[in-house]
Amino acid sequence: MASSNDIKNGAVLKLEGQLWNTLEFQHVKPGKGGAFIRTKLRNLSTGKVVDKTFNAGAKVEFATVDRSDYQYLYQDGEDFIFMDLRDFDQIMVPGTVVGDAANFMLESQEVSIAMHEGTALYLDMPPSVILEITYTEPGLQGDRSNAGTKTATLETGHEIQVPLFVDQGTKVKVDTRTSDYLGRVSS
């Protein structure tokens, strides 16, 4: 058992028999009364996000989570197959665990997977990836400013909004957390 003062972003807590990932934490010392820790936690089995407050120094149980680098190989139905880059063992990760990361993964993409007792908990994608636009409507003459956007389909099949001047075949940098267009990338 550890203290609630040890809670950090990314820490996995074991509360009431379930695993919770710490999304945000804040130590609060009000002018009157004892200090406390305000957290935002995501349930790793259901995806539900809750706010929870702990008294400073309260005992909490941290789950042992191992993070390893894996390479995405292919999709098999609803499951995704990854290869451990250390020993080349392959693991199957359910689509529910992969979640929105599937919108940005190409074969050979490297990701970090958090494991607890042999079960994949979640994927850590890089903050941004470079993908090619496979389809978008052509921009009209005169639409060369950043004023408007249009829908574009990435090579993974995911659709994002891009400026009007971006054409089909262009490589773009995309934020994996928000699906935002971050800019063009020269080949």
Question: How is 79-145 classified by DSSP, letter by letter?
Answer: EEEEEETTT--EEEEEHHHHGGGGGG--TT-EEEEEEETTEEEEEE--SEEEEEEEEEPPPPTT--S
- Whether the pLDDT of residue 126 is over 80: the answer is yes
Q: Residue 180 has what pLDDT?
A: 93
Q: Are residues 113 and 72 in the same domain?
A: yes
Q: Are residues 50 and 77 in the same domain?
A: no
Q: Are residues 107 and 134 in the same domain?
A: no
Task: Select from 38, 62, 86 the last residue of a domain.
Answer: 62
CATH number at residue 179: 2.40.50.140
- Give the chain's mean pLDDT: 89
pLDDT band at residue 147, thresholds of 50, 70 and 90? low
Q: Are residues 115 and 81 in the same domain?
A: yes
Q: How far apart are CA 62 and CA 170, in angstroms?
A: 45
Q: Are residues 111 and 140 in the same domain?
A: no
Q: Residue 62 has what pLDDT?
A: 93
- Whether the pLDDT of residue 143 is over 60: the answer is no
Cβ atoms 154, 134 nearer than 8 A: yes
Q: What is the pLDDT of residues 1-26, one digit of tens each?
A: 788 889 998 889 999 889 999 989 99
Task: Select from 77, 101, 124 the last residue of a domain.
Answer: 124
How many domains does the chain fold into? 3
Q: Residue 79 has what pLDDT?
A: 94
Q: Are residues 143 and 104 in the same domain?
A: no
Q: Are residues 110 and 134 in the same domain?
A: no
Q: Residue 51 has what pLDDT?
A: 95
Q: Residue 164 has what pLDDT?
A: 85
Q: Are residues 15 and 58 in the same domain?
A: yes
Higher pLDDT, 138 or 22: 22
Q: How far apart are CA 33 and CA 44, in angstroms?
A: 33
- Whether the pLDDT of residue 171 is over 60: the answer is yes
Task: Select from 11, 43, 62 the last residue of a domain.
Answer: 62
Q: Are residues 52 and 8 in the same domain?
A: yes
**80: domain range?**
66-124
Average pLDDT over residues 32-60: 91
